[in-house]
Every structure is written in structure tokens, then in C-alpha cells.
Amino acid sequence: MTFAKYSIVALGVQPYINALIVVTLFRVISARVRTIEKGPDGAVRLLRWTRALTVLLAMGQAYGWTILLQVQGALPEMDWSARLVVILAVTGGTMVLVLLGEVLDEIGLGFGNGVVLIYALGPLATEFHRLAATAAASPSLEALYRPLGMWTIFSIGVVAASVAVLLAVRRISSNESENPVELRILLSGVLRPPIFATGVLFLPVALANYVSVENPGISAWINDHMTSYGTNPWTNTAYTVVNAGLVIGFTYFVVAIDFDNVPQALSDVFNRLTFICGSFLALSVVVLPVLEWNASIAAGRGIGLNGFDVVLVTAMIIFVVRSLEQPRELSKTPPVLMSRVP
């Protein structure tokens, strides 16, 4: 694949999403950041920090991207000035998307989550391209009927489960109010726990890429076993269990960040809801894609399912529909996707 086939928005808005998450962590570890947030212009200052951090993260990711393209042969050897031009162009593309998301919010089409809406469009395009590539590589359409059937069944199952969980609420009686308190089942949102888990599990892969030249054996072992889709069923199972456990663990972490002043009387309820939330994310994002992959292979051809993408797109569709149905209550009601950030 040549470099001419890539776009200047190749990074998408992933650096901005990462910057949002980092700023959220700053709120937890820094009392000064929490004080700034509570100030009259705190939200504006944090937004500026998020934008600045997005630029830094995008430039770092763009640098790694150019190195990867050189390894793949899509880019020739280049000096620092040529590499800087590519980095600045790709970083600029990301910031244009961020600006577009904020413009969508200003004109009322982003419903306060314009950038995340743009972020959710990426999985749709990826799924279409991947299915098209699978169909093109198949010797006949008849050979795809059963694998596509398995993919469709699992996809519908994940969507149905996502809708049920995203719309579910838990009503709790409160002594301080006559009206019951409604808590969403999906307290953590859908973005942060899987992204945190992916970040932890990516560390061995990054190590494998770093030592691939000096220690090809270690690199090959990591790439073969640090996955749910390798040749060894035992390491596949172990990796899947660890991944699911990390998603559940980070769900507790995210909920603890967002709801740091939970009354003691509600702590048990929050713990139960957090476990349900983490279990759903682990099942839909980690376990079901692995089961679908093996089922489609048994049906004749492996067709991958990205559970995270399915859940994210479903969440954004529900969020947009709710925003259109209740435009006046949008500013008063937390969106289905996030509490403070995704």
C-alpha cells in the first residue's frame, strides 16, 4: 500500500479521546486541577489543556505512524524535515476533525458530543471496508453464506444487549427526596474501561516491536501468544480471561472516579451496578468477539467482530435519538454514553 492512499486525517480523533481520558485522570491525582475545574472559567481552561494535549499526542502518534509506514515500505527513508512535514500535516488533520466536532456542538448537531460522534463514524467505515475485503478475497459468495450468518447473529446479539443495558436504569428510594433516584446501569460509559485495558495489554506488543530486530524469538513469542486469536488455545483462553478481568477492573476504577461522593447507603447498589456494567463490557467487547471468530471459522471462514465498535456505535445512535426526542432536557440529563467524559 502506497502512502498516496492515506489521508491527512488518518489518525482520526483518537488523540483527542486519549487527551480527554488523561485530563480525567488529572482530576483524580491533582487537587489543583480539581480546584481549577470548580473555578468560574475552569471548564474553558481544561478544554484548552485538552486541545494542547491532543496536539502533543497526535504528533507523537504521527511520528510512530511514519516509522511504521517505513517498515512496511509505504514511506522511503526521510530526513527530519520531511518527517516533520508529514507529522504536522497529519496532526493538523486531527485538529480539523476536533474543530468540526466543536462546530457541530455549537450549531446543535453534536448534542455536546460532536467529537465523539465523529469518532464513532470510524468503526462504521472500518466494518464496511473489512467486509468488502473479505467478500473480494472469497472464492465465491456461496462460501460466505454461513460465516456471514454467524457474524450477523453475533452482531445482532451484541446490539440487542447493548440497547437493553444502555436504556436500563435502577430506581432507588431516597430518604432525602420523595422521588426515587434513577441510576444508569452503564455507569462507566463505553469508552474508558476497554481503552484502559487495551492500553495495558498493548505494552507487551510495543516491547515486541522494540526488540524485534535484536530478539526476533521473543518478539515472535509475544505476537503469537499475547492474543486471543493465536494457535495455542490455552494462551488464547488465558489472554481472553486477563483482558476481560482488566475491563471489569477498570470499570470499577472509572466509576470510582466519576462518583467519588457516593453516600454510604448507596455504596452496595453502586458496587452491584458496577459489576453488572463491567461484566457486560467484558462479555460484549472481549468474550463474544472471540466466540464469533471461532464460530465463523467453524462455518468456513473467519470474519472478525469488533464488539467495542458495535457497542460504541449503538451507544451513539441511542444518544442521538434521545437528544432529538428531549432537546430541552439535554443539558439537565447525563448522556447515555458518558458522565463526565466517555
| Best CA proximity match to 302, nearest among 284, 288, 285, 290 | 290
Residue 11: count other Cβ atoms within 10 Å of its Cβ: 20
Say what the pLDDT of residue 333 is. 39
| Full DSSP string of 235-292 | HHHHHHHHHHHHHHHHHHHHHHHH-TT--GGGHHHHHHHHHHHHHHHHIIIIIHHHHH
- The segment with the largest mean pLDDT, out of 165-174, 257-266, 272-281, is 272-281
Q: Is the pLDDT of residue 338 over 50?
A: no
Between the alpha carbon of residue 151 and those of residues 145, 146, 168, 236, the distances in Å are 10, 9, 26, 20
Q: Tell me which of 149-158, 208-217, 294-303 is least confident.
A: 208-217
Distance CA 193, CA 284 (A): 12
pLDDT tens profile 283-321: 999 999 999 999 999 888 888 888 888 888 888 888 888
Joined grid coordinates for residue 19: 487527551
Q: Is the pLDDT of residue 209 over 70?
A: no
Name the amino acid, one letter, at 164.
A
Distance CA 16, CA 171 (A): 34
Mean pLDDT, the chain, as a whole number?
Answer: 80
pLDDT tens profile 10-59: 788 888 888 888 888 887 788 787 787 777 787 788 888 889 999 999 99
Cβ-contact 254, 204 below 8 angstroms: no
Cβ burial 65-90 (10 Å sphere, 16+ → b, else e): bbeebeeeeebeeeeeeebeebbeeb
Say what the pLDDT of residue 230 is. 83
Residue 300 parent element (H or E):
none
Cβ-contact 286, 311 below 8 angstroms: no
Say what the pLDDT of residue 340 is. 43
pLDDT tens profile 81-130: 888 888 899 899 889 988 888 888 787 776 667 788 888 777 777 777 77
Between the alpha carbon of residue 32 and those of residues 27, 35, 50, 255, the distances in Å are 8, 5, 16, 21
What radius of gyration do the chain's Cα atoms show?
A: 22
pTM: predicted TM-score of the whole model, two decimal places: 0.79
172 strand-pairing partners: 181
pLDDT bin (cut points 50, 70, 90) of residue 256 is confident
**CATH number among 2.20.70.10, 1.50.10.20, 1.10.3370.10, 3.30.420.40, domain 140-342:** 1.10.3370.10
Say what the pLDDT of residue 245 is. 95
Locate the domains of the chain by residue range.
Answer: 1-107, 140-342
Say what the pLDDT of residue 329 is. 46
Cβ-contact 2, 90 below 8 angstroms: no
| Full DSSP string of 80-141 | HHHHHHHHHHHHHHHHHHHHHHHHHHHTTSSTT-HHHHHHHHHHHHHHHHHHHHHHHHSS-G
Residue 172 parent element (H or E):
strand 169-172
